[in-house]
A and B are shown apart, each in its own frame.
Chain A
Amino acid sequence: MIESNTITKGLDVQAIRQQFPALNRQVKGQPLVYFDNAATTQKPQVVIDALVDYYTNYNANVHRGIHTLAEEATALFEASRNAARQFINASSREEIIFTRGTTEGINLVAYTWGRKNIKAGDEIIITEMEHHSNIVPWQILCEEKGAVLKMIPQRDGVLLLDEYKKLLSSKTKLVSVVHVSNALGTVNPVEDIITLAHQAGALVLVDGAQSTVHLDIDVQALDCDFFAFSSHKVYGPTGIGVLYGKKHLLEAMPPFQGGGEMIKEVTLEKTTYADLPYKFEAGTPNIGDAAVLKTALEFVTKIGKEKVRHHENELLAYATGLLKQIPGVTIIGNAPNKVSVVSFVIDKVHPQDIGILLDNRGIAVRTGHHCAQPLMVCYGIPGTIRASFAMYNTKEEVDKLIVGLEKALKMLL
């Protein structure tokens, strides 16, 4: 058994690995090396157990009915909301809206706040390194309203803040910016971006899909107006996420979807809406996954983000150093402040070929445009090979990646 005191000094990676059953899998006859953590992390046993426990012992619909199961399910669901509030340091539980994930959170803001507040000629600013989920909702909104979408440019993975300052004006109504780039790993200076936006009178949405698992998130200190993240990238279940919004903004926003749960009173003439956060949670929510989000967040907090960050950054530096020694490799995105994501291309080799040949050795990386096509266009490439590291990855696994790459290149070139 694992002794708990082995965890106190640094990160006991072997002990952590034992908590992730999927890591015991064999892929193509080899032990799985899972380096696609920016897409989704594997789940620890406590999260899997909590899901089973929920459906085994508590399953009921929430906020309705006075029977015991309904009350217990509601208590679990709301406890998870509190855990999410604490995890990102929101000031109240009313500011925590359960969504399907980051994408739905951003769409919620676009469809409710956006439709109400954006007019013809208004401007919304995003960045060149956005995921499609933080581009398309704003394109749809801008097209509908006759508003203008602008992009902060980047160079070698770093946003050009001077260009950003030039884009800001009294026409700017919203700045929606990715906290950490999924394709490059860059940690963007959202504090400065938010301060500047607020000075111009604009609101700020932070896409926290990639940042929440790595960085300490304090939405009050950031002073962002909206913040969205997904459970499944923070070792939690898929299909659940959180949208944080400042209370006075959420209160003034029209509902997203109509249905049960989100109403106070319905007559044929007029419906009054429920209080926050329920106004934005129409229909039966994803109760099981929401309830288990708490387990995942507590798991991360217990292990300690700082320790994990230290470990992941070591892996990043180690992998980056070794990759640079492979002839023909170019690292895409060399920002000084990065999370554990390394994206690269190799001369005369298509990323997909590398992905296939690495998969054949049980190594899971992501290849392609990473849902960030405008960014790929900036670099003039169809896509990259991306390895992204989590708390359970090891240097030995990085070594396997390097060996796998060298063998692949020998076959391909």
Chain B
Amino acid sequence: MSEHKSIQAIEDELVEEFSLFDSWDDKYEYIIDMGKKLAPLENEHKLDENKVRGCQSTVWLVSEYNDGLIRFKADSDAIITKGLVSMLIRVLSNHTPDEIIDADLGFIQKIGMTTHLAQTRANGLLSMVKQMKNFALAYKIKNSMTHG
């Protein structure tokens, strides 16, 4: 049986996981841990054109589209940012363009990310989300052109 969890289910999982932490120190530790565990991006992908604009640190984000599902890969020179993008990958990767486009990503707010992170960094997070949704939209359009 395939383990295809919905985006919402993964978001709920993350909210649940973060609810176990009392302090932001612990939350950051968890985010940092996720950053460290994210598979490193091959150097060939670390190109200017793969950079996400609007982050104080450098974030590279690439996507692949196979069998109707999008897979994201990313890296950052800052570990907390890498943890944040790792969370987004966990939520959004391996889903269809439509699922990604429709994701409301309420978990970001629920785990307190938007209120805790200063606005500029929150914007960096939103830039990553926007970039991922843009990829999904691009694949969707490409699909409709080849199949439609």
A residues adjacent to B (C-beta < 8 A): 28, 349-350, 352-353, 356-357, 359-360, 367-368, 382, 407, 411-412
Stretch from B43-51, B75-83, B90-98 contacting the other chain: B75-83
Judge whether B21 is part of the interface by a CB distance below 8 angstroms. no
Residue B28 contacts which of A349, A350, A411 (CB distance < 8 angstroms)?
A411
Q: How far is the CA of A119 from the CA of B116 in the complex (A)?
A: 52
Proximity string of chain B (63-90) to chain A, C-beta cutoff 8 Å, 1 when within and 0 when not: 0000000000000011111000000000
**Are A352 and B56 within 8 A (Cβ)?**
yes
What are 14 sample pairs from A and B whose C-beta atoms fall under 8 A apart? Answer: A28-B24, A350-B57, A350-B81, A352-B78, A352-B80, A352-B81, A353-B32, A353-B81, A356-B28, A356-B117, A357-B28, A367-B56, A407-B25, A412-B79
Proximity string of chain B (10-53) to chain A, C-beta cutoff 8 Å, 1 when within and 0 when not: 00000000000000110011001000000000000000000000
CB distance from B23 to the nearest CB of A (A): 9
Cβ contacts under 8 Å, A407 to chain B: 25
Judge whether B121 is part of the interface by a CB distance below 8 angstroms. yes
Cβ contacts under 8 Å, B32 to chain A: 353, 411-412
B residues adjacent to A (C-beta < 8 A): 24-25, 28-29, 32, 56-58, 77-81, 116-118, 121
Query: Besides the contacts A352-B78, A407-B25, what 20 more A-B pairs have beta carbons closer than 8 Å?
Result: A28-B116, A349-B79, A350-B78, A352-B57, A352-B81, A353-B32, A353-B78, A353-B79, A353-B80, A353-B81, A356-B28, A356-B80, A356-B121, A357-B28, A360-B24, A360-B25, A360-B28, A382-B57, A411-B32, A412-B79
Q: How far is the CA of A357 from the CA of B57 in the complex (A)?
A: 15
CB distance from B52 to the nearest CB of A (A): 14
The residue in chain B whose Cβ has the minimal distance to the Cβ of A410 is B29
Cβ contacts under 8 Å, A368 to chain B: 56
Cβ contacts under 8 Å, B80 to chain A: 352-353, 356-357
Q: How far is the CA of A19 from the CA of B79 in the complex (A)?
A: 39
Cβ contacts under 8 Å, B28 to chain A: 356-357, 360, 411
**Are A350 and B79 within 8 A (Cβ)?**
yes
Cβ contacts under 8 Å, A412 to chain B: 32, 79
The residue in chain B whose Cβ has the minimal distance to the Cβ of A28 is B24
The residue in chain A whose Cβ has the minimal distance to the Cβ of B83 is A353
Q: How far is the CA of A350 from the CA of B78 in the complex (A)?
A: 5
CB distance from A89 to the nearest CB of B (A): 39
Between A352, A382, A407, the greatest number of chain B beta carbons within 10 A of the residue's beta carbon is seen for A352
Q: How far is the CA of A353 from the CA of B36 in the complex (A)?
A: 13
Between B57, B77, B116, the greatest number of chain A beta carbons within 10 A of the residue's beta carbon is seen for B57
Cβ contacts under 8 Å, A367 to chain B: 56
**Are A411 and B29 within 8 A (Cβ)?**
yes
Given contacts A382-B58, A411-B32, A412-B32, contact A359 B79 (CB under 8 A): no
The residue in chain B whose Cβ has the minimal distance to the Cβ of A357 is B28
Q: How far is the CA of A356 from the CA of B81 in the complex (A)?
A: 10
Between A349, A353, A412, the greatest number of chain B beta carbons within 10 A of the residue's beta carbon is seen for A353
Q: How far is the CA of A407 from the CA of B25 in the complex (A)?
A: 10
CB distance from B86 to the nearest CB of A (A): 14
Cβ contacts under 8 Å, A349 to chain B: 79
CB distance from A388 to the nearest CB of B (A): 18
The residue in chain A whose Cβ has the minimal distance to the Cβ of B32 is A411
**Are A382 and B121 within 8 A (Cβ)?**
no
Q: How far is the CA of A367 from the CA of B57 in the complex (A)?
A: 10
